[in-house]
Amino acid sequence: MTGRSGKFAGENPFEIARSWMAEAEAAELNDPNAIALSTVDADGLPNARMVLLKDIEDNAFVFYTNYESQKAQELDHAGKAAFVMHWKSLRRQVRARGIITREDGVQADQYYASRSLKSRLGAWASKQSRPLKSRATLMAEVAKVTATKGVNPPRPPFWGGFRLTPLEIEFWADGDHRLHDRFQWRRATPDAEWTITRLNP
């Protein structure tokens, strides 16, 4: 018996995550959907950066990036990743780690089309993670792309989504005297049942 109630109550961790996200959207000043995404390179050296989570699906978390970026190369190589979402205003966080797959279809097209025109053109112009001579060089590339791609650019073939299907999710809430509440959801495979364990702070 884990004694889950209140903000931890529920039989589906993705519903809990969506509920917490909705609260964060009302309370957090900037980017409530920001996650610190962790990957490892081919040598096993860890890497981390902030990205924006764009969807909490029924069985996974989705974000988007340039497929030629360092993060994408690390995601493709390892096939696994982890992230943490921390909301200072709520004094809560969600951690997840699991299996990575690409979202490179209609859903990626729809999300790309929903972005502002400048963001869509910027996705074409930026050679993410690679050396850049100057900001002027980047802006010249944006101008070139604007002239060639027009006002309705298609999604670049090198840009799309990644889906993290978790094998582990942890919900954490701040407690008095650093006696925090932590509940870990674990499963052996994406199709397995969850096991829920209350953890020491």
Please list, in sequence order, all residues whose beta carbon lies within 8 angstroms of the beta carbon of residue 78, skipping any fewer than 6 positions away: 39, 40, 100
Each residue of 116-164: pLDDT tens digit? 999 999 999 999 999 999 999 999 999 999 999 989 999 999 999 999 9
> Interior CA angle at 30 toward 27 and 31, to 5°?
100
pLDDT the model gives residue 2: 65
Predicted pLDDT of residue 178: 84
What's the pLDDT at 157? 96
What pLDDT shows up at residue 153?
95
Residue 189 pLDDT: 97
Confidence at residue 90, expressed as pLDDT on a 0 to 100 scale: 95
Q: Which residues are catalytic?
A: 178
> Which residues of the chain are under the pLDDT cut of 70?
1-3
- Using CB atoms within 10 Å of the CB of residue 101, give its burial: 0 to 12 exposed, 13 to 18 middle, 19+ buried: middle
For residues 67 and 159, the answer to whether their CB atoms sit within 8 Å is yes
